[in-house]
Structure 1
Amino acid sequence: MEIIGWIVILLFFIIGFIGLVYPIIPAVLFIFGGFVMYGLFFSFSDLPWWFWAIQSLFVILLFGADALANAFGVKKFGGSKAGLWGSTIGLIVGPFVIPIVGILIGPFIGAIIAEILFNKSTLKKSFLSGVGSVVGFITSVFTKGIIQTVMITLFFITIYFSDK
């Protein structure tokens, strides 16, 4: 049963990292779910209250980081709220329409189309908004990846020292 428990926990962590590039998967919830699975399979007593408090703060941080990075990227490159919405819709739809590269092309095209349709922006300004959405997405993935790695590292350190 111990091996099955670790397989389930590691699968949750892997799905969490897949969720970095597929926004339809709630990445941080899978990471947090891995911690819950550890408690269910092994023991919640190995994970003290401060562990759960820190991890809960990371969850909140990750939800905020996702929205802020995309908004920052679009705004930094001159985009508007329409560009941000187009980028977000493209981020969700892109991977399904164009597997693999759709994760980058979707928000780019979404921001451009939204800027042109709703703001009557020039092609140059719309293009820059699209570039900003891609920069925001890449920044978000990088930032969330680091935070998720820290979360998992803290988990392993905590359970390692709980046995001592």
Structure 2
Amino acid sequence: MDWLWLTLGILCMLGGIAGSVLPFLPGPPLCFVGLLLQQLKTDPPFTAEFLWVWAGITIAITILDYYVPIYGTKKFGGSTYGVWGCTIGLVIGIFFGALGIIFGPFIGAFIGELIANTNTKQAWRAAFGSFVGFLVGTLIKLVACFVMSYYFIKYTIIA
């Protein structure tokens, strides 16, 4: 039965890493579920303290993921239209591969700001802020997922 938990854990880890970039998958929560699934094995690899710490980190990152792009947009003078444009641009950008994922939020935020009737210079500035917020949020999620994956591999596959 341990092989089932290991397989499901690996799938959660891979889904979590993908979810760090894709907006419709919750990256860090999926990785955390992968860690939790390992506790169902006959010899659980993690302590309760370890799991509580990662639960807190996962919750904090999930909450921050919603606020960092908004903060970036607002800090650079953007509006709610820029934030929505960033999100829509990311969803559309997924269909254009890696470049779409990178440039989609920027273009979406720019168009959103233009719809909000701001001037072009302000729209560029807000789009840049939204883009920076998106990149920071994505980086934070990726780092957390890779660290959880490291512990997953170290204590379940290598051990």
Smaller-chain TM-score range? Answer: 0.7 to 0.9
**Amino acid of the structure 2 residue aligned with 1:35:** L
Alignment check: 8 A CA contact 1:77 1:129 kept: yes
> Does residue 28 of the first structure (1) align with residue 28 of the second (2)?
yes
Cα distance in 2 between the residues matched to 1:82 and 1:104: 19
- Unpaired runs of at least 5, structure 1: none
Q: Which residue of 1 aligns with 2:123?
A: 126
Deviation at 1:70, TM superposition (A): 0.8
Q: 1:103 aligns with which of 95, 101, 105?
A: 101
Helix, strand or coil for the counterpart of 1:125?
helix
Q: Deviations over 1:65-121 (max 9, x none)?
A: 21222112212222122211221222233213x232221222112211211112x11
Q: Which residue of 2 aligns with 1:112?
A: 110
CA gap 1:25/1:44 in 2 versus in 1, 3 angstroms: farther
CA gap 1:131/1:75 in 2 versus in 1, 3 angstroms: same
Paired residues for 1:64-143 under 5 Å: 64-96=63-95, 98-118=96-116, 120-143=117-140
Deviation at 1:57, TM superposition (A): 0.5
Cα distance in 2 between the residues matched to 1:104 and 1:156: 29
Helix, strand or coil for the counterpart of 2:124?
helix
CA gap 1:56/1:91 in 2 versus in 1, 3 angstroms: same
Q: TM-score, normalised by structure 1?
A: 0.80
Q: Percent identity?
A: 31
**Amino acid of the structure 2 residue aligned with 1:90:** G
Alignment check: 8 A CA contact 1:69 1:140 kept: yes
Q: TM-score, normalised by structure 2?
A: 0.82
Q: How many equivalent residue pairs? A: 158
